[in-house]
Amino acid sequence: MIRRISSILCLLPVLLLAAGCSAPQPERASRDDPASRVLPSSDAPPLPSPPSPPPPPGPNYSSSVAIALPGEPDTRGLDDAQLNAMFDAAVAQARPGEEKRAVCVGMQGLADSAVMDAPPRIVRYVGEAVQLPAVPASQCRADVHPFVIATKANAILYTVKVESRDARGVLTFWAVATYGNLGANGAEFRLIRANGRWIPKATGVSVVS
């Protein structure tokens, strides 16, 4: 009986090997063990280069902002001669540069909370004054510069904002020309009557950006 058990024990390694088993191996080195790390050989492919920086920002029409609401502004108590004089003051702030291909025209009346489209006759008047196609301001947006939505034409924006009207009816307004994101000239005026004409008289308050 003892001899038979010894024979079976002697055959056990052979049976294990035939079954695909192997003798116990020492525990592998930990993945975090520095001695187990394999250094890359000189023949290894180079690491990929970091991505190139993005191009500098430019006109991005998808992220542009609206500059006016559609609809006519509050022009109560103002006739065409007064409106013409006020927009003459806006055009005088900056004439279109050679790169400009259009004009956007907006107005904020005394009762308006935002810039609206200038009256159609004033849009035409301003376009003729600078000899460029003119559109209501709601048809434009602004990014690096104002532009016409339909054509993407580089534009200059002229706006008039009525600030107050005193007891004598004297009107105070702002006239502004915007030609770029960081480019605008504006000044405050009082509209006075002199020698049968409406004259914008500067108050001395102005802004340049």
Instruction: Give percent of the chain with pLDDT exceeding 90.
Output: 65
pLDDT reading at 120 higher than 50 = yes
Helices 120-130 and 80-93: crossing angle in degrees, nearest 10, is 40
pLDDT reading at 3 higher than 70 = no
Domain range list for the chain: 64-208
Say what the pTM is.
0.71
Give the lowest-confidence range in 7-11, 172-176, 182-186, 196-200: 7-11
Distance CA 74, CA 119 (A): 10
- Name the band, by pLDDT with cuts 50, 70 and 90, for residue 192: very high
pLDDT reading at 59 higher than 80 = no
Distance CA 171, CA 163 (A): 8
Please check whether residue 126 is in contact with residue 40, taking contact to mean a CB–CB distance below 8 angstroms: no
- What integer pLDDT is reported at residue 50 of this predicted model? 52
Strands (DSSP E) contained in the chain are 65-66, 102-108, 116-117, 134-136, 140-142, 146-148, 155-165, 171-180, 183-194, 197-208
Please check whether residue 170 is in contact with residue 192, taking contact to mean a CB–CB distance below 8 angstroms: yes
Q: Please state the separation of Cα 3 from the chain's center in Å.
A: 93
- Name the band, by pLDDT with cuts 50, 70 and 90, for residue 137: very high
- What integer pLDDT is reported at residue 48 of this predicted model? 57
Phi, psi of 2 (to 5 degrees): -65, -40
Q: Where are the alpha helices (DSSP H) in 19-150?
A: 80-93, 120-130
Strand-strand pairing, 146-148 and 155-165: unpaired
Better pLDDT: 11 or 42: 42
- What integer pLDDT is reported at residue 13 of this predicted model? 41
pLDDT reading at 82 higher than 50 = yes
Phi, psi of 16 (to 5 degrees): -65, -40
Beta-bridge mates of residue 154 = 147
pLDDT reading at 195 higher than 50 = yes
- What integer pLDDT is reported at residue 29 of this predicted model? 44
